[in-house]
């Protein structure tokens, strides 16, 4: 009876080795994909950091420009008043 079971056991072990080989191959593929995904995510984080830095720079420049707007508007108003005074002198 043991002699009859021996070939079946060998076949079963061979099937098991084959199954484990497939599983480990798939697992290795998944791990490789995960490494690539991590690398991609790291690159995306780096790009997002760059975008945040640029956005911060744009916000600072915009704030500086907005701070100048009232002075520029005042200068334009004064210039318009001076032009209107000059036009009034010319026409009178």
pLDDT value for 5: 80
Q: How far is CA 78 from the centre of its chain?
A: 47
pLDDT value for 92: 77
pLDDT value for 84: 93
pLDDT value for 47: 96
The list of the chain residues with pLDDT below 70 reads none
Region class of 51: left (phi > 0), else alpha (psi between -120 and 50), else beta: alpha
């Amino acid at each position: 009876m043991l002699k009859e079971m021996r070939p079946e056991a060998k076949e079963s072990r061979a099937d098991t080795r084959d199954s484990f080989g497939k599983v480990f191959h798939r697992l290795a593929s998944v791990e490789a994909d995960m490494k690539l995904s991590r690398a991609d995510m790291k690159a995306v984080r780096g790009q997002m950091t760059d975008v945040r830095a640029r956005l911060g720079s744009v916000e600072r420049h915009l704030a500086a420009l907005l701070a100048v707007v009232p002075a520029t508007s005042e200068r334009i108003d004064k210039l318009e008043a001076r032009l209107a005074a000059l036009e009034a002198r010319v026409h009178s």
